[in-house]
Structure 1
Amino acid sequence: MTPQTFFSLPKARPLTSVRWALAFPLFFAMYSCDDSTYLPEKQLTNDLSYHHDLDNNDNFSPDNQWLVYDTRTDDGGIAASAKIEKVNVNTGEKKVLYALSQNQEWGPGAGAVSYSPVDHAVVFIHGLMSVTKDNPYQQWRRTGVIINEISPNKPVFMDARDITPPYTKGALRGGTHRHEWSGDGQWIGYTYNDAVLKALEDSTGQKHNLRTIGVSKRNMPVSLEKDVAGENVSGTWYSVLVVRVTPTPTPGSDEISHAAGDSWVGNNGYLKPDGMRQLARAFVGKVKDKNGKDVDEVFIVDIPEKIDEAGEFGPLEGTDTNFPMPPKGTVQRRLTFTATRPQAGCTGIVRSSPDGNMLTFLAKDAQGVQQVFMISPNGGAPTQLTFHPKNVEGSIRWHPNGKLVTYVYDGSIVACQIGTEPFEQRLNVLTKPTSPSPSNLVWSHDGKTLAFNRTLTNSEGYSSKQIFTINPTISKK
């Protein structure tokens, strides 16, 4: 593969005090500006009185014209976020998609919003409407809400919530978080905490409130007739948990006590060795090494098309003492085995290439430096993609063409080509280094715009996240 099939970029400033010679033009063509070593940035939001938080989600509308975000505060977090807004990438026009007129510092709250890749609809966390100062927004007291843009401010509750026994198949019992649409818009994945097991933990003093991962499937509504003080909610999608967790993993086993950092594998799953496409989510799971020490490893869970049939581990709806169990056909597999190495552990959100052939994550190299690694969803040995002298900060994002990844390093957004050329030839810096660093990177679907957050400070000393974009252009060579 020749460099001309990627983007072209003049030589940029070195990322460290070591001067790397970039042997040929790389990915991005720069526009003329005063500082020609960086891509020019466009600031889309300017109201410094509140956050415009992209929150590491999929924030671009299907037509690439809008970015959606929440308005959380530093002190109150999502509970204090009363609005979901969007901003036009070209004009800077802002619109409110959803607003909670009576929101308090304890909730209900609305945040961590993602756009559907196929419909003009967004999904986000919504706290229970029954919140009070004494019973506020919590990880286990929230649901996913969808807003269709043709009907702003009309919430559609996605995942049903039922905390009253006997529990209901297709409903969960706690709170969903960081919702992500599948490539075809027919599924939504998320992390989850369980209210029933949180109550059990409070009553026994033993650990039960564990984070795990679930999915919801479109066009399978779950209606509830019962309610307890506004705690139960009917849902328009069918919801199940797909990852098993336990408070007491066996040392040296593949059992996990925590699952997060999850995302869909590919826009349309991944290709298994038998040639079949498989729907799946990749994530980071916490195991115990043989000495009983916690280690984070990369896992994958294959998800069956049919999710309304119970599997071998227990009922879909759960019990008073255990989680809802995954549906029949769900397969949970460990992909990395760093626990036996001196530099153990993986971190960050596991991000998949668009074709599903490769997963990226953060881990330490032999020198103890945090780098970007890749691994196949079918397993095998990980491949080290980056070789920086200092830690990669995070925010890994694949370009939609699947040929490079962007991430944050040393206060800058950088791009790294997937390939076999020397690292120095695959790498370049795209934005000026700043402190705080940019965060929450997200590519438009057409690959022409990269959006991110920068933290700015107003004249009163209040700092807030604002949205910026850079606009690479594809080389015509």
Structure 2
Amino acid sequence: MLSCQTDSISEEKQITNDLTYHHDLDNNDNFSPDGKWLVYDTRTDDGGIAASARIERVNIETGEKQVLFEIKNNQAWGPGAGAVSYSPKENAVVFIHGLTNSTEENPYQQWRRTGVIIHDSLPNQPIYMDARDVTFPFTPGALRGGTHRHEWSGDGAWIGYTYNDAILKALEDATGQKRNLRTIGVSRKIRSVNVDKNEENVSGEWFSALVVRVVPEPMPGTDEISHAAGDSWVGTNGYLAANGQKQIARAFLGTVKDKSGKEVSEVFIVDIPEDITQPGSLGPLEGTKDDFPMPPNGTNQRRLTYTANTHHAGCTGIVRSSPDGKSLAYFAKDEKGISQIFVISPTGGKPTQLTEHDSDVTGNVRWHPDGQHVTYVWKGSITLCKTGTESFTERIKTLTKPTNPAPTNMVWSPDGNILAFNRLVKVNDSDAAAQQVFVCKVEM
């Protein structure tokens, strides 16, 4: 049995202590650019993001908490605010905001939300990022549903996210045919997008486009996909393409059908053009009454893994890129059926198995800023694994003591000296528990 080095267990520091609500990092980029603050939402177990009325941040040195955004009289059905991420370049955060007209009959939904930006020096002054237009004729640069898990690119110029479409959800409800599919979009601050104002429409300050094509029923044995998620930016500033140029892209998991028609998640990548304002060959940027907004001219969607034909098909997790853009990390099963971390180049090729544990790796994989280490959860502990040619036992060490439930939502500080994460802390002797923020200093 392989064992981890345990002489490196770091001292944990609990940063939040209020047991009356969750402090959820949600597997995002939660550190401020200076590494002094962590931002989180206040979702509930029953209501989720819809019931989160606040976006807060906490100072990791002093424990001071500040409210960046608050929805007065928020209800269990919304509007809700959550899944917040810091910009790597500005003192600003972006998060989900449910539609302000949410009611118990028409609540927060995957297809009824937008992205909102708050500058931390200007709390409660929302900037609506992506425009939403559900009134035909639709508007180029606007979407028609809801964006989720927003992530700034390394240069702060783009925001990527997953997306669900309200027009196609309504079509699915009317016809009974599968149309409510998840896909991936991006926004860039090219120009503001103004739409006809009503309670369902939102004007936005950034130009938005969907970049991944999904279809309800992929042809078995092809690279068509019905679902795209688990996405993140490739590299701090893209990856080096075959032409020697840096290419901005998002890596993600796409759901294909194998030759027998069974659904399998595989790693994909989509190259994104600098100019997302020009429609591509598949159709208009704004979409039609019966189909999605289509990717801009110059997008290139490619499949990277082919596990569908193996004994242990499928990939899981969020696909995470090394800072230099050379390696994409994800979870998949090894030849023994054990979940491990694999890495693959964004240009394709054979995947490399990074971990060799004797039981499943879990949690979320995150790259250290040095690009030479990844963290994940194994047997209830946060584990650090070095890339390289040394033996596996020499490359791994345990950072935290094992707990049940295990730590979640890990995120590295910009300088790589501090690892933050969530841990459930019990409320007295009851069964209730509150998600708290912890940090530990890590010596590499």
TM-score by length of 1: 0.92
Structure-2 residue corresponding to 1:426: 395
Map 1:200-349; keep pairs closer than 5 Å. Answer: 200-224=171-195, 226-228=196-198, 230-349=199-318
Identity of aligned residues (%): 65
Q: Is the counterpart of residue 378 in structure 1 residue 347 in structure 2?
A: yes
Give the length in aligned residue pairs.
443
Instruction: Tell me, yes or no, if structure 1 residue 98 matches structure 2 residue 69.
Output: yes
Please name the residue that 1:355 is paired with: 324
Partner of 1:31: none
1:458 aligns with 2:442: no
> 4+ runs of 1 displaced by more than 6 Å?
none
Per-residue deviation, residues 304-334 of structure 1 (Å, max 9, x unmatched): 0000000010000000000000000000000
Is the contact between residue 49 and residue 462 of structure 1 (CA under 8 Å) also seen in structure 2?
A: no
SS of corresponding position for 2:308: helix
Q: 1:328-348 deviations in whole A, cap 9, x for unaligned?
A: 000000000000001100000
Change (3 A) 1:139 1:206: same
Q: CA deviation at 1:38?
A: 1.9
SS of equivalent to 2:313: coil
Give the whole-Å Cα distance in 1 for the aligned partners of 2:112 and 2:383. Answer: 38
Given candidates 429, 432, 435, the residue that maps to 2:404 is 435
TM-aligned CA deviation for residue 36 of structure 1: 6.1
Map Cα deviations across residues 63-88 of structure 1 (whole Å, 9 max, x no partner). Answer: 00000000000000000000000000
Specify the code of the residue in structure 2 equivalent to 1:51.
H
Indicate the residue corresponding to 1:390 in structure 2. Answer: 359
How far, CA to CA, are the matches of 2:58 and 2:426 in structure 1?
Answer: 20
What's the offset of the Cα at 1:37? 5.6
- Whether 2:385 is the aligned partner of 1:416: answer yes
**Which AA in structure 2 matches 1:170?**
G
SS of 2:173 mapped into structure 1: helix
1:107 matches 2:93: no
**Equivalent AA in structure 1 for residue 144 of structure 2:** R
Of 44, 47, 56, 1:73 maps to 44
Residue equivalent to 2:105: 134
Q: Distance in 2 between matches of 1:288 and 1:461?
A: 41
Report the AA paired with residue 38 of structure 1.
I
How large is the RMSD of aligned CA atoms in angstroms? 1.1
- Structure 1: which 5+ runs fail to align? 1-17, 23-34
Paired residue secondary structure (1:169): coil
Answer with 1 or 2: which has the greater Rg: 1
Q: d(CA) in 2 for partners of 1:111 and 1:37?
A: 34
1:469 aligns with 2:433: no
Matched residue, 2:88:
117
**Whole-Å separation in 2 of the counterparts to 1:323 and 1:88:** 42
Aligned in 2, Cα 1:152/1:21: closer, same or farther, shift over 3 Å?
closer
Inter-partner Cα distance in structure 1 for 2:99 and 2:3: 53
What is the CA deviation profile of residues 444-476 of structure 1, one whole-angstrom value per residue up to 9, with x for unaligned ones? 0000100000001112432111000010135xx
Is the alpha carbon distance of 1:144 and 1:21 closer, same or farther for their aligned partners in structure 2, counting shifts above 3 Å? closer
1:409 and 1:439 mapped to 2: Cα distance?
Answer: 11
- Cα distance, 1:21 vs. partner? 8.0
Question: How far 1:220 sits from its partner (Å)?
Answer: 1.6
Structure 1 residue 274: Cα displacement: 1.7
User: Following TM superposition, by how much is the alpha carbon of 1:151 offset from its aligned partner in structure 2, in angstroms?
Assistant: 1.1
Give the Cα separation in 1 of the matches to 2:34 and 2:8: 30
Give the Cα separation in 2 of the matches to 1:343 and 1:294: 13
Give yes or no for contact 2:129–2:204 (8 Å, CA) kept in 1: yes
**Range that drifts further, 390-399 or 359-368:** 390-399
Q: Equivalents in 2 of 1:277, 1:88: separation in Å?
A: 36
The alpha-carbon deviation at position 395 of structure 1 amounts to 1.0
1-structure distance, mates of 2:190, 2:94? 15
Aligned pairs (5 A) from 1:29-108: 38-108=9-79
CA-to-aligned-CA distance 1:415-469 (integer Å, 9 cap, x gap): 0000011111101111000000000000000001000000011124321110000
Counterpart code for 1:472: V
Which residue number corresponds to residue 151 of structure 2? 180
Inter-partner Cα distance in structure 2 for 1:415 and 1:360: 14
